[in-house]
């Protein structure tokens, strides 16, 4: 009773109303906490799906390049046992058979080059030769913002030029198409310094990209124009490259709207219950 007097709840009506408030206010707080818990869970699920999308696309690009690299290594081995004229026909047939590449270069039995497609910069070949090869017999290199698949014959001297397959930028962009249905707006290939090498869609200065790449798989940060956005990044195994994605805010806004609707609906119901109760005890 002393508590009611301190709160100036002297009448029966005010005491009943105060009692109801003691029940309704904690219930309202509990509803808000529950709604916020559901909201954070939705955000966590969203981040997992975005990280999975970036990782899946990185695996897809890696699989495409891996198949080409293994084919290059096998064909380069075969070319080492044929004469120059057959090596040239081998290079022509290889480039026709493997779409998405602009040039290929092999070495014949005399260690002389035979090639098809665009000319390969000879000054870059020595650098590529020093790269060596991994367990699959090839390596992925970035040369002048192009992907080179390099197969080095260990029997050749270090200054001997390697076999090379150069990826077509247009074909690479075809593997970087954004899927709008899952909120993707931009997809790009990055180098070891986090710089964009190839992006889809292409925009001047890549203003859509983040100012820097943090270590997190998914993060939210301003882009180069100052607008906040959600990004995801995944490394491409076996190379210094990575796969960068930008997502729109539709699903994030939907989660926020669900939070607001859930909170407002439940609070409105409690407020209505309080008004009906207050009107009932006043009679």
What is the gyration radius of the CA atoms in the chain, in angstroms? 31
Instruction: Give me the sign of the Cα torsion angle 61, 62, 66, 72.
Output: positive
Answer yes or no: are the C-beta atoms of 80 and 171 closer than 8 Å: no
| pLDDT score recorded for residue 249 | 85
> Two tokens at 47?
């981040």
Helices 12-79 and 84-97, axial angle in degrees (round to 10): 160
pTM of the model as a whole: 0.77
| pLDDT score recorded for residue 21 | 65
> Two tokens at 110?
């005399």
* Cα(175)–Cα(170) distance, integer angstroms: 9
> Two tokens at 85?
């004229």
> Two tokens at 102?
């602009």
Q: What is the pLDDT along the chain (283 residues), one digit of tens a residue?
A: 454 455 454 555 555 556 666 666 777 778 778 877 887 888 888 889 999 999 999 999 999 999 999 999 999 989 989 999 999 999 999 999 998 999 999 988 888 889 999 988 767 776 666 665 565 678 888 888 889 998 876 665 455 568 899 999 999 999 998 888 778 889 999 988 888 889 888 777 788 988 887 767 899 989 888 888 999 999 998 888 899 999 988 888 888 888 788 778 877 777 777 777 666 666 5
Residue whose entry in the numeric block shows the structure tokens 């195994």: 237
> Two tokens at 108?
């014949």
> Two tokens at 274?
């309080």
| pLDDT score recorded for residue 11 | 56
């Amino acid at each position: 009773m002393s508590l009611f007097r301190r709160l100036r709840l002297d009448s029966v009506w005010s005491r009943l109303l105060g009692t109801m408030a003691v029940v309704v206010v904690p219930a309202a707080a509990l509803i808000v906490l529950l709604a916020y818990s559901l909201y954070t869970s939705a955000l966590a699920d969203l981040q997992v799906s975005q990280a999975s999308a970036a990782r899946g696309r990185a695996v897809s690009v890696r699989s495409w390049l891996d198949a080409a690299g293994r084919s290059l290594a096998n064909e380069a081995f075969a070319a080492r046992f044929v004469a120059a004229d057959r090596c040239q026909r081998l290079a022509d047939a290889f480039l026709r058979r493997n779409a998405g590449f602009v040039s290929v270069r092999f070495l014949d039995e005399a260690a002389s080059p035979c090639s098809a497609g665009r000319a390969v910069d000879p000054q870059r070949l020595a650098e590529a030769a020093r790269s060596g090869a991994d367990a699959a017999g090839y390596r992925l290199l970035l040369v002048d913002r192009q992907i080179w698949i390099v197969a080095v014959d260990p029997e050749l001297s270090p200054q001997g030029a390697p076999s090379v397959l150069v990826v077509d930028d247009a074909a690479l962009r075809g593997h970087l198409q954004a899927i709008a249905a899952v909120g993707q707006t931009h997809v790009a290939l990055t180098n070891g310094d986090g710089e964009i090498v190839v992006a889809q869609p292409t925009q001047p200065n890549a203003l859509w990209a983040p100012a820097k790449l943090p270590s997190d798989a998914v993060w939210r940060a301003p882009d180069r124009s100052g607008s906040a956005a959600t990004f995801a990044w995944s490394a491409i195994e076996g190379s210094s490259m990575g796969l960068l994605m930008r997502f729109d805010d539709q699903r994030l806004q939907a989660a926020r709207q669900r939070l607001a609707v859930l909170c407002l609906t439940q609070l409105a119901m409690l407020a209505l219950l309080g008004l009906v109760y207050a009107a009932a005890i006043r009679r």
